[in-house]
């Protein structure tokens, strides 16, 4: 009887060990799946949670994202190298104009821009037109 009880207990623990990691993996996804080692790039996606069309991936500044990417981003990621100019400052207008907001290196990504606002109060989602790399001290509004 004791062997049956121990065997049943071990089988239960083994099943639990198999299902817990599978559940955790299913809960991840989206931006978590796209995160990788820091490579100096900023990314933007058309859909929430870093999904859908990737609109831009660049290590440099951009004064205009172009017709294919402007006013379409719903999630962004900062895989820039830390230190110095490691925050991405997003702008509402071309040539780094209009309202602005930042994504700090430590924030990694903003997976839902519908709940963020530029410095002028305009919702960030589907409103980014340009960006540049800045120091965190140049940021007054930060994506969360």
Tens of pLDDT, residues 29-55: 799 998 999 999 999 999 999 999 999
Instruction: Give the per-residue pLDDT at 144.
Output: 80
20 pLDDT more than 50: no
3 pLDDT more than 50: no
Lowest-confidence range among 24-33, 102-111, 120-129?
24-33
Instruction: Give the per-residue pLDDT at 99.
Output: 98
Residues 103, 143 contacting (CB under 8 angstroms): yes
2 pLDDT more than 70: no
Collapsed DSSP state (helix, strand, coil) of residue 73: coil
Convert 42-68 to b/e letters by CB count within 10 Å (16 or more is b): bbbbbebbbbeeebbeeeeebeebeee
Q: In this structure, are 24 and 39 located in the same domain?
A: no
Q: Is residue 64 part of a domain?
A: yes
Instruction: Give the per-residue pLDDT at 113.
Output: 98
Residues 130, 110 contacting (CB under 8 angstroms): no
Phi and psi for 45 in degrees, rounded to 5?
A: -120, 155
pTM given for the model: 0.80
Q: Is residue 52 part of a domain?
A: yes
How far is the C-alpha of 133 from the C-alpha of 100, rounded, in Å? 12
Task: Report CA-CA distances (Å) from 70 to 6, 12, 55, 92.
Answer: 62, 53, 9, 9
Instruction: State the residue range of the domain holding 17.
Output: 1-28
Lowest-confidence range among 12-26, 58-72, 113-127?
12-26
Q: In this structure, are 70 and 119 located in the same domain?
A: yes
Query: How does the average pLDDT of the chain come out, rounded?
Result: 85
CA 126 to chain CA centroid, Å, is: 15
Phi and psi for 88 in degrees, rounded to 5?
A: -100, 125
Q: What contacts 15, CB < 8 A, 6 or more positions away? A: none
Q: What contacts 110, CB < 8 A, 6 or more positions away? A: 75, 76, 77, 103, 116, 143, 144
Q: Is residue 122 part of a domain?
A: yes
Q: Is residue 24 part of a domain?
A: yes
What pLDDT band is residue 23 in, cutting at 50, 70 and 90? very low
Mean pLDDT of 67-76: 97
Q: In this structure, are 21 and 41 located in the same domain?
A: no
């Amino acid at each position: 009887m004791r062997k049956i009880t121990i065997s049943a207990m071990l089988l239960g623990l083994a099943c639990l060990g198999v299902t817990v990691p599978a559940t955790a993996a299913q809960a991840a996804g989206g931006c978590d799946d796209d995160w990788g080692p820091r490579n100096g790039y900023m990314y933007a996606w058309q859909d929430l949670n870093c999904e859908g069309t990737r609109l831009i991936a660049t290590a440099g500044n951009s004064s205009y994202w172009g017709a294919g990417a402007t006013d379409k981003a719903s999630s962004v990621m900062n895989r820039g190298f830390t230190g110095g100019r490691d925050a991405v400052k997003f702008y509402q207008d071309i040539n780094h104009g209009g309202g602005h907001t930042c994504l700090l290196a430590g924030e990694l990504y903003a997976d839902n821009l519908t709940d963020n606002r530029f410095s002028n109060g305009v919702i960030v989602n589907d409103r980014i037109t340009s960006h540049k790399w800045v120091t965190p001290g140049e940021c007054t509004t930060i994506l969360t």
